[in-house]
Structures are given as structure tokens and as C-alpha cells.
Chain A
Amino acid sequence: MEKEQVEQLCKSLTDRNFGDVMIVGGGISGIQAALDLGTAGFKVYFVEKSPTVGGKMAHLDKTFPTNDCSMCIESPKFVECKRHPNIEMITYAEVESVEGEAGDFTVTVVKKPRYIDESKCTGCTTCVEYCPVVYPDKFNQEISKNKAIHIYFAQAIPLVPYIDDSCLYLKEGKCQICIGVCQSKAIDFSQKPEKVEIRVGAIILSPGIEAYDPRAKEEYHYDNFANVVTGLEYERLLCATGPHEGEILRASDMRHPHNVAWIHCVGSRRVTPGDNSYCSAVCCTYTQKQVILTKDHDDGAHCTIFHNDIRSYGKDFERFYQRTENLPGIRFIRSYASIVREDPVTKNVTVRYTTPEGVKEEEFDMVVLSVGLVPPRNVEKIAQAFGIELNDHGFCKTGPANPLETTRPGIFVSGAFIGPMDIPEGVLGASGAGSMCGEILSYRRGNLSKARVYPPEKDVSQEEPRIGVYVCHCGANIGRIVNVPQTVQYSLTLPHVVHAEESLFICSTEAAAMLAKDIKERGLNRVIVAACTPRTHEPLFRDTLREAGINQYYYDMANIREHCSWVHSKEKEAATEKAEDIIRMSVARAHFLEPLQEFDLPVDKRAMVVGGGIAGMTAALSIAKQRHEVFLVEKEKELGGMAKRLHYTLEGLDVQAYVKDLIQQVYSNPMIHVYTGASIPETTGYVGNFTTTVQNGRGTSVIKHGATVLAIGADEYKPTEYLYGQDERVMTQLELEGRIAQGEEKIVSAESMVMIQCVGCRNEDRNYCSRICCSHAIKNALKLKEKNPQMEISILFRDMRTYRYFENYYRDASNKDVKFVRYEPENPPQVEAVVEEGRPVLRVTAADPILEKKLALDADFLILSVATIPAAESQEISNKFKVALGPDGFCQEAHVKLRPVDFAAEGIYLCGIAHYPKHISETIAQAYGAAGRALTLLANDTVVASGSVCSVNEKMCIACGACIPACTYGAVEFKETKQGKKASVIPVLCKGCGLCNSKCPTGAIQLKHYTDVELLNQIDAAGSKELVLGSAEAALAEA
């Protein structure tokens, strides 16, 4: 009944201004939410206040800890959003008010006038050229200049200019030059702000953050010293599309700085007026990234980092820190630092800081303020418009357990508006918020969604190959090393190459449009993009081919960035020669490419979740609430996982009650089938079609499911150090927590306790930080202080990594007289059991690096903050499910930044501490994220399978049978033909590995898209500068 009503409503509205979900904020988090929901069958309105989507990520040069090019990985998503049939993008617009309730909101959106008719503008930018008004470019943090009419940045979506307030006509009614030069008559000064009402069922709020403005604190002299810049400005300076084309130049004299200092915690971790009490969570690591990039630009540069703890708490951050530390000319100095003066002549900046030897002053060419993150500028207005509450810091107020819920039902939040976070957290939160929208709107899923329509495909298989080669500068990533114009000239000398050109960013929409146009107008039937890795960008360009009406398999990618310019950054000539070779190899292959057809595989609508902790249960519930059956498999006899040992969180969550409720919900949900005490002897299949055997006391079940979520948890490290296991007064934080919760008298009335941090990690065996232990220690210390204020508690730490709001509790603990004593890893604390004045104590001796003396602490109990280590069975699970583990043994996501809950293997998702140690609220967000990603698959009836499968040339098959056992997918079988027994491939079962191909003695079975001919020609082209196509066939005939 409900459904009918909705359908009727849809019809009556003819889908104008009626959608399922509105996403407000077009940064990376909003983009992810839009793509997930659009793909999962919802109609999405995607509203962004600036002239383009992209958000803060688009302003970054690189992303830590991999130093991937930020724009390169983000911009394909812009294009995806734009091309998505279920996403309607409204840029340069803001939400004025939200009326109604969950399931039925009416949102009033005000579109600001661009003064450009988007439907007419071609993005040619002639207007920009002629515009006489030069004003500071916002994208480049106002370091360089732009015009009053301009496109926000090269990859902007939509790729349409807008006219800023600085326009002469808007200000004084003069000029209008742009109107005269615009051939498309797209300029329209009569535009007025336009109000639209849009009805949606749910809202995701992802307005992001702003960088802290250091003007609030005079002591940084940000406004009056030319060579003091913020981290975000420095990011633009580093970037090839930045104000000086990737040259780091000082504002005072346009010279390269060689001696640069970074000051940490600007605007963070302080309670003085104008500062923020929380830790901004990303600045330590972004500084390290900037240091590494500075050294990339100038390997003789000296870099000094003034910090107050290095908070490398994220996955792979610790190694990134070490990498930075090990570079020559790098100093990390632990000290608050202030800026004291500027040299009137050189404009160098002097920094004052303290060392154990006393106060020092030092001069630098440039000082970068590692500024923190603050809520969006107009946050009060946002709160009012959406009717949501803010927390004490002005970020979005969320529950203690679920960080994706706002105070208004039906409105969810994702990204850094929850609080300072890095990109992957913003992305997984977006998928999670998407899943929560799905929970309330699943009854109407698919009603408004449309399928993507491509133009009919032109058959070019009988034509002579006409190859087009596009060589990308990738800003300066390629162009700075490889001589791009030379490679273009070279490409034109290669057989069948009829067109070659260079591009600053071939992944920009503009370039993609140009490429599509070339295919049509120049009659290209093969396209080679010489740029970055096909592992990230191939889908984007294949799609462009489809849009241009030729088969997407006529595409090849020459990786001249990851495999050339980035790995040969000191050898420009050799790198250029190599780039030419790579292009030649690609041409050799492209010549023989064949058009292939993809096919649809059915998707089993059920999901399996492995692991019944908080992560697994949350994911299972979210999927089940979206009307998909879930099989929840847990190895223990009871659900609950690691959380069974937790009792309270810093934010005040009663963990036991929460888990109990969650278990209750799981058992009472009819869509969830729970298997406890279970093992998984076998799992097979592929995306959309898995078959898993589950065994437990009740027997063996063979379960078919379309998606898999692995939430297999982690273990607590069992220490061998500090008398653990030998002296019963030594315990781990988890053990302590259990005993506090039980109210054990001995514990709560103890006179003194010592806690040691980083036990079993941040060392050679486990080169990572366990992220949660600093806050865990503070949590227990505060709990003990609450019960027994007299207790003496000392925490021996290396760096206190209480990121984000946990910093407040650190301060709280310090105010409550918890002692913090730092130790260096070279000089770890010593523990011995002694009797002091008749009282048996544990004596902990530590060398305090500040006081430079030995400190002896006598404690009744010693608490070890031990590492979180990968679950014992993770290797086995990884082997069975064919998913990867990272170097530390945790589950390896498909992409650190942009696919944080996907495995590389399609249809399998990850969440919880199996991915990396994390807090409960983070686990919950990630579990919703995994559910959201699973729904992008389960919500569809089919999944597209690659056309790159094997096929048999029956004439050549001698029925030797080598191929059949090679394929454990059962895709190859014998069939009887008139010519006798022949091998035959069942394409839907073939996964395209090509094992059978290399086993075949005659070459009868060939993996399409990686055929012998294609690969042999590529090998030939690698060996010789002379490209003789087809010489491999002769060899083939011989072989």
C-alpha cells in the first residue's frame, strides 16, 4: 500500500524536485555518499555551496600516508557523479531550511546566480581570457590571482565558469566584455538567486571543515610576516596546479626556501581564547607529508618540525613518520614554539623554542603553521537550517555510540563535520550514513532510479586500427620529469597512430569531452592514455569510450607515472626514453585489441557477515534493516567479540548495555540467521555469488550469498615484558577495566598505579601504533580517579596520541593530577618487585628525558597498555576468502583513502578492528560503511562481469585436457562436437585469470584482452625500438 502511494506520488510529480536523499556538501565524503546511494537505487540531490564539487581534498597536493596525488584520485569521482543517472547535482547553492520529518522532508535550496547559463556554456574559457578584473584566487588560497569570471579549478564539475562579486558589472554596472566575447551567449547578468523546494526522505549533511585561521592569534604574525604561511597554503604551493606551478616560493622575494620550519598544533590543543581544546587529528601526518614533498622538490632542504607529540595513530602512519624522520636534514623538536620576529631585510622568520638546554632562537626562510581544523564558517546557520544541535566545539552533535546520527531523525552526518578526521574516515562515514538512509527508505528503493544509457556501439572491428595517444602531464607529476611534447612527437611516428596530443590533466571532464569528440571526429578506434595506473583510472576512460560509441575494450593505458616519472625522478632523459618505450608497448598491444561484450551476472540478495562483535552485528543489522537476509557467523559461543571485555567509554557509553541491546536486536531480527561456535571450512564463488560452508554444533550448512563482510576482530597482545604473567599485580588495560567494573576493592583502593604505554607495538616486531591505548589508559585513569581521587596514577608514555576530542580527557586527567612521564624507546622503563618500608611494591624506573634523571615510581599495580594485534585466524580467513592482509597482518583495504571498507576482491567488505585498532564509535561508523557498500551490490539484480574471459578456437583444440583442471572455477569443460571432444568455456564462470591459456600447448584457448598475440606484440615492442607489428604471429605459428 505504502509503496503504491509512493509510486503514485512519483508519477504525479513526474520526478521533478522529488528524490530520496539529499546530500549537502560536495567534498569527498558527500561524493562517496552520493555515489553509493545512487548506485544502491536511490535518487540523490547533491547540493554544494561552492561552484564545484571537490571540497577540501581538491585543494590538497598529495594525500598521506601514500602520497598519492589528491586530485588524481578524487577527480574521477567527480566525473562519476556527473555521469550518474541517479545523481542530480546542484552547485553554488545553499540550504535555507528543512521542514518535515524523516521520510518526508521539504528542503528549500537557494541557488546563487553564476551569471552563466550552464546549459549553453561550453567551458571554452574565452570569457576568462578577456575579463579585465584580476582578484585573489580562492582555490589557491589567494596566493595567486584569477579573474572575476573563472572556472574554480581545471577539473571542476560542472566545468562552467562563475562570476564573482568582484565583477565590474556587478559592482559598478560597467564592462560586460564577457558578454561580447561569449559565442554561446551563455552569460546572463539577469540571473537572480533562485529558490527551489525539493522533497526527499532523508538527508546527509557533509559540509566539511575549514582550516583554522591563525589571524585569531597575533603571536603567529601570520598577517604581517610575508613568509609565514598556513599548512593549506603550503599545500597549494607544493601543487603543480598551485600558484607557482609547483614551485615553492616565498611571498617576500619569490625565492625557494631552503630552511623551512613547521609549527604544530596551531589553533589546537589549547584552551586559551582563540584556540581550540581538541586535537585536529590530521596535522602531524600532513606536516610529515609536506616535509617529504619538500624534500622531493629540493633534496637539500632543511626541515624542522616543532611538535608536542607526534600523533601517528592511523594505519601506516607510524612508518610514514619514520620515513620522514629518516630523511636527511630533518629535525623533529619537541617544544612549543612561537614566532618572534622577521628580519627586515631578508624577511626570514625567527622562531623561539625550548630545549632541555634552555630557550633557543633560530631563523628560518619560511615558517608553515600546521593549522588545525575548525567547523564550517557558517555553522550556526547550518545548524539552524537543518534543525540540528552542535557540540561544544561547534561540530555536529552525535550520539556516544553512533557518530553518524544527528539530533534530528532522518538527518545523518558524514565527514569531518563530525569532528576532525582524515579522508578515509570521511569516506567510510559517507557509506555508513548512506546505509542509514537506506534503512529508513528501503521501501522505496529503486522507484525513482534510472539506468545509464549509452549511445549504440559502432562496429569498428573491420576498420584499420586508428590509434589516438594522449599523454598526460598530470600537472607536474609526469611533465616535470618526462618530456611530454617529445613523447607526443614520438607517438606520431608509430604505426597506426593517427593522432597524439598532450594534456595537463587527461582525467578532467574537459579532457574527457575532448577525447570523446576526437573519437568521433578523427575516427579513432583505439585509444591509449599515457598517464597513471590503470588500477585506478581505467574505468573512467573506458566509460569515455562507451560514451563516444566505441567498445570500451579498445582502450589501453600506458603507466608513465607510477612506473616511470615517479620512480625515476632524477633521470629525466632516461625516464622520457622509458615513457616512449611504454607508449610503444601500448601501441603494439592496442593494435590487436578486440571489442568485447560484458555480461550481467545475477546477484544473490543475501549477505554473510563473518564475526559477531560490535562491527559484525552492526553491519548485519543495517543490511537486514534494508530487507536483505544476513547470515552472521561467529566463532565463539556468544556474540559480542572484544566488546564483551569493555565496560565504559570516555564519551560515557555503557558498553555492556549497548552490546546486550545489540545482541537482542540481532536475535530478534527475522532477517538475521546467527551461527555461533561456527567455523568456515570452505568458501568459493565470486561477487554476487558466493557459496560458503558453515559448520557448528548444529551441523553443516552450505550458504549462498551475494556479498561478504569480514569483521573478524583482533586480539590483545599477551605481553612477555614488565613481569606480566610472573607477578599478578601486572595486568593489561582490558584486565584492569574488568576489575574496575567488578568494583574489586584491591584495585579501586590502591595507593598508586603506574601505566606503561606502547607495550608490544611501535617496535621492530609490530611497527605500528595501536591507536586506542592512549585514550584507553586515560579512560581507566579517570575512572580510578573518580572512584578514588587520592590514588596516585602515573602514565609512562612515548607520545600521547589522544587525537580529536580525546585530547579533552587527556587534559582532564592532567588536571586531576594524573602524572604523565615520557620515556624514549631506547630507554624503556624497568620494573622490579621490591619491598619498600614493609610494603611490597612494583618499582618502575624510568629515565625522564626532560628532567634527565632516573625517576623511580612505586606502584601497587602496573598496567600495561598493550598492542592490539591481528586476530589469530586472520591469515586463515584471508586465504579462504582470497583477500589481502597488510604488512602488519590487518585486513588490507582496496585503497587506503577512497575505498577504506572494500577489499580489492569485489563483493567482499571489511570493518572493525580487523582493519586496524579503533574506538567503538569508529567501529560502528565503519560497520555501517561496510553495510552501505554491500548494499551498492545487493540492491542491484545483476552485476556486470568483465568481457575479458577465455574462449576456445575449436579447430586448434586437441582435447589434451590441460586447461580443465587448471580452472577451479569449473569454467572449462569438454563438450562433444562433430570434430570430436573439444574444450569449451562457460563465460559467466570464467574469472579471467588466463591460467588455462598458459597451459594450452596449441594456443587454442585464449584469454580475451590478454591474448598471446596482444602480449607477444607487447613483449616484442619492449625489446626493440623498431615497432614491427605482427611479427609475433609468425613466431606464434612456429611455436
Chain B
Amino acid sequence: MSADASFKPKMLGIICNWCCYGGADLCGVSRFQYPTYIRLIRVMCSGRVDLKFIFRAFLTGQDAVFVGGCHINDCHYNPEGNYDAYSMVTLCRKLLEHIGINPKRLRIEWVSAGEGIRFAQIMNEYSREIQELGPLGSSEGIDEAEMKARLEEMARLIPYFKLAKMKELALHDHDEAAYARLFTTEEVERLIREAPSYYIDPEKCQACMTCARKCPVDAIISAKGQVHVIDQDKCIKCGTCLSACPPKFSAVTKLVGQPAPPPLPEGQRAVVRTSKEATA
């Protein structure tokens, strides 16, 4: 790919206070220069960087994102959050790859507070790489609307990824090779393919509102005497409704590999009481 010298990528770094931010400070103090199109956000630990931050950054026009933490085993915090950041980035790169985005657009780097020069080197080298790669989307051959749709689709699945890959995302392995094996392409594809949908069977729902009360994100449209409906855009696929629905109703079903049927139109959601039916 030919580099367009006039292309100024947008790059965002989310970096930890104790090491990488200190490295960036020292870089400044030492007057090492790097391109102007890099913006930095401070967090206390690289482990604070959420999958959704990355997708949000790409959705708001960043061409590349990097996560900066302390060197492995040097994390300021006991739980060693940089391992968690590493797992998260590893998964995220696979997800980006899955939707056709070059995973090079997401990087994780370790920079200590004493490594001003290293920070500058990474910034210069990474920005060159992204400049050569070109703008997000067009250089991947994906148009803007399509790119946005794909990113949004992934962003919606984040809570599901976090639940399904809870163990992997918490991997702390001193062997770096373990991270390369952590999420295989096949696994990630299966993960996405098998993303479930939850559906409330209007035939069975008794409008008891138990599921709606328990839904952590208020994704269940409910009212007294009205069949409940899951707002699929809001749903985070946690399955709380499935376990919340009283067994005698068993109105919630988990669908895998198929979309949830369209909800009943408003106005046709009056509950059909099973008990009353029996007496009638």
C-alpha cells in the first residue's frame, strides 16, 4: 500500500497514569518530538480500558488506538491490570479482524515512566505504520456506513463477549505465547455466530413484570396487562430475563443462530391469561 504523505491519521492513546503517562510526560520534558495527530487519555490502569472504549474510538473516527501500560509485572496495582489489558486487546484485535478491520489499528505497548525516548519511538513508528495503512474504512475497502454498522454490531455484543469470555479476559499468564493462543479465529467466529437472542413468547407471557424489574439495562418494555417485549437494540444478552421468568410461565427463550421474531405491534399486546382460559 502506498503511503499518502498528506494523510494525517487520527490516533488515540488510552494510557495508564503510573507508567505510560509518565513516559509520555518524560518524553515531553526531554523534548522528544512525535506527530501532532495523537491524542491521549489518562486512566489509572491500562486494565481500566474497556472493550467498548476501543469500539467507541473507532466509531468516532479514530484511525488507530493504542493502549499503554506498565511493563508486564511492573503494574502499579496488585491485580496486575496490564495482563487484563493484554487479554482485552488480544480479543479486540480478533474482533476487528472479523469485521474486516486491520488489527494493526489497535496496539498495546508497555512504556515505563522512565522511558520518554521509548514513548517517542513508539509514537513515531506507530504513526508511520498507520499513515501507510491509510484511513480506516477506505483502505480496507469498506464504505463508511457499512463500517459503522459493523462496528456498532460488535459494540452491541460487548457485554456478551465479556460474559462468554470471562475466564479468558482475566488470563494472567507470564508466557506471552499464551495470549497468541487465547482467542483463535475459529473460536471468535463461533462466538459471534452463537451470540444468542432472548425472546419473550407472547403466548406464554403473563405480564408479571419480574423480568423487566430484573433486566439490568431496562431493555424490557413492560406494562401491567401487556405482553412484555425485549428491545433487541438495548438487550445485552445477559440472560437475566431467562432465569427471572417464573418456571410456571417459562415465557423467555434463548435463540441461537437465528434472530428473534419481530415483537407484537403495540396495541396488540394485551395478555391472554392462561388461568382464565382454563376456566373459560
Q: Given A534-B42, A962-B166, A1012-B52, A995 and B62 touching (CB < 8 A)?
A: no
Interface centre among B17, B19, B50 (most CB of A within 10 A): B50
Q: Check A994 against B48 for contact (C-beta < 8 Å).
A: yes
Q: Given A567-B32, A1015-B41, A1032-B56, A993 and B24 touching (CB < 8 A)?
A: no
| B131: min CB distance to chain A, Å | 15
Of all chain B residues, which has the CB nearest A570?
A: B33
Of all chain B residues, which has the CB nearest A880?
A: B73
Interface stretch (choices A227-235, A255-263, A384-392, A950-958): A950-958
Q: List A contacts of B47 (CB < 8 A).
A: 966, 993-995, 998
The contact string, 1 if C-beta is below 8 Å from chain B, for chain A 964-996, is 011111000000000100000000000111110
> Size class of B's contact patch?
35 or more
Q: Given A567-B120, A1039-B52, A882 and B240 touching (CB < 8 A)?
A: no
Q: Check B216 against A956 for contact (C-beta < 8 Å).
A: yes
Q: Given A958-B216, A1032-B56, A999 and B84 touching (CB < 8 A)?
A: yes
The contact of B79 among A956, A967, A997, A1032, by CB within 8 Å, is: A967
Q: Check A1001 against B163 for contact (C-beta < 8 Å).
A: yes
Interface centre among A578, A991, A1015 (most CB of B within 10 A): A1015
Q: Does B138 contact A (CB under 8 A)?
A: no
Q: Does A1023 contact B (CB under 8 A)?
A: yes
Q: Does A884 contact B (CB under 8 A)?
A: yes
Q: Given A571-B36, A1039-B156, A892 and B113 touching (CB < 8 A)?
A: yes
| B139: min CB distance to chain A, Å | 18
Q: Check A562 against B79 for contact (C-beta < 8 Å).
A: no
Q: Check A1002 against B216 for contact (C-beta < 8 Å).
A: yes
Q: Does B45 contact A (CB under 8 A)?
A: yes
Which residues of A (554-608) have their CB < 8 Å from a CB of B? 559, 561-564, 566-571, 574-575, 577-578, 581-582, 585
Q: Check A1022 against B44 for contact (C-beta < 8 Å).
A: no
| A145: min CB distance to chain B, Å | 31
Q: Check A1019 against B156 for contact (C-beta < 8 Å).
A: no
Interface stretch (choices B187-195, B230-238, B257-265): B230-238
Q: List B contacts of A567 (CB < 8 A).
A: 27-28, 31-34, 120
Q: Does A254 contact B (CB under 8 A)?
A: no
Q: Given A535-B25, A567-B120, A1002-B238, A1038 and B162 touching (CB < 8 A)?
A: no
Q: List A contacts of B2 (CB < 8 A).
A: none
C-alpha spacing A1000/B163, complex, angstroms = 8
C-alpha spacing A998/B52, complex, angstroms = 9
Q: List A contacts of B26 (CB < 8 A).
A: 66
Q: Does A763 contact B (CB under 8 A)?
A: no
Which residues of A (424-458) have their CB < 8 Å from a CB of B? none
Q: Does B88 contact A (CB under 8 A)?
A: yes
Of all chain A residues, which has the CB nearest B243?
A: A958
C-alpha spacing A1010/B47, complex, angstroms = 12
The contact string, 1 if C-beta is below 8 Å from chain A, for chain B 207-231, is 0000000101100000000000000
The contact of A882 among B22, B75, B112, by CB within 8 Å, is: B75
Q: Does B128 contact A (CB under 8 A)?
A: no
| A210: min CB distance to chain B, Å | 28
Q: Does B97 contact A (CB under 8 A)?
A: no
Q: Given A585-B41, A999-B84, A1024-B61, A684 and B52 touching (CB < 8 A)?
A: no
Q: Does A67 contact B (CB under 8 A)?
A: yes
C-alpha spacing A125/B78, complex, angstroms = 52
Q: List B contacts of A534 (CB < 8 A).
A: 42
Q: List B contacts of A570 (CB < 8 A).
A: 33
Q: Given A879-B73, A995-B45, A1010-B48, A1019 and B27 touching (CB < 8 A)?
A: no
Q: Does A1007 contact B (CB under 8 A)?
A: yes
Which residues of A (758-791) have their CB < 8 Å from a CB of B? none
C-alpha spacing A298/B247, complex, angstroms = 79
| A133: min CB distance to chain B, Å | 40
The contact of B156 among A563, A1012, A1032, A1038, by CB within 8 Å, is: A1038
Q: Check A66 against B29 for contact (C-beta < 8 Å).
A: yes
Interface centre among A564, A571, A993, A1015 (most CB of B within 10 A): A993
The contact of B39 among A578, A965, A998, A1007, by CB within 8 Å, is: A578
Q: Check A993 against B45 for contact (C-beta < 8 Å).
A: yes
Which residues of B (138-194) have their CB < 8 Å from a CB of A? 152, 155-156, 158-160, 162-163, 166, 169-170
Q: Check A1019 against B48 for contact (C-beta < 8 Å).
A: no
Q: Check A968 against B79 for contact (C-beta < 8 Å).
A: yes
The contact of B60 among A559, A561, A571, A1024, by CB within 8 Å, is: A1024
Q: List B contacts of A535 (CB < 8 A).
A: 17, 21-22, 25
Interface centre among B32, B44, B159 (most CB of A within 10 A): B44
The contact of A966 among B32, B52, B84, B214, by CB within 8 Å, is: B84
Q: Check B52 against A994 for contact (C-beta < 8 Å).
A: no
Q: Check A962 against B162 for contact (C-beta < 8 Å).
A: yes
Q: List B contacts of A1000 (CB < 8 A).
A: 162
Q: Check B170 against A966 for contact (C-beta < 8 Å).
A: yes
Of all chain B residues, which has the CB nearest A292?
A: B31
Q: Given A999-B166, A1022-B62, A994 and B43 touching (CB < 8 A)?
A: yes
The contact string, 1 if C-beta is below 8 Å from chain B, for chain A 1007-1035, is 10010100110111011100000001001
Interface centre among A564, A578, A904, A958 (most CB of B within 10 A): A958
Q: Does B7 contact A (CB under 8 A)?
A: no
C-alpha spacing A570/B32, complex, angstroms = 11
Q: Check A991 against B216 for contact (C-beta < 8 Å).
A: no
Q: Check B115 against A993 for contact (C-beta < 8 Å).
A: no
Q: Given A563-B28, A886-B114, A1020-B56, A1004 and B216 touching (CB < 8 A)?
A: yes
Q: List B contacts of A1018 (CB < 8 A).
A: 41
Of all chain A residues, which has the CB nearest B88?
A: A998
C-alpha spacing A566/B27, complex, angstroms = 8
Which residues of B (57-82) have their CB < 8 Å from a CB of A? 57, 59-62, 70, 73-79, 81
A-B contact pairs, 19 of them (CB 8 A): A66-B26, A566-B31, A567-B34, A879-B74, A882-B77, A886-B114, A962-B169, A966-B84, A979-B214, A993-B76, A998-B48, A1001-B159, A1001-B162, A1001-B236, A1010-B43, A1015-B50, A1016-B56, A1037-B217, A1038-B152
Residues of A within 8 A of B (CB): 66-68, 296, 533-535, 559, 561-564, 566-571, 574-575, 577-578, 581-582, 585, 684, 878-879, 882, 884, 886-887, 892, 904-905, 948, 955-958, 960-962, 965-969, 979, 991-995, 997-1002, 1004, 1007, 1010, 1012, 1015-1016, 1018-1020, 1022-1024, 1032, 1035, 1037-1039
List the 9 shortest-distance A-B pairs measured between CB atoms, nearest first: A1023-B60, A562-B28, A994-B48, A1001-B159, A574-B36, A566-B28, A993-B45, A998-B50, A1001-B162
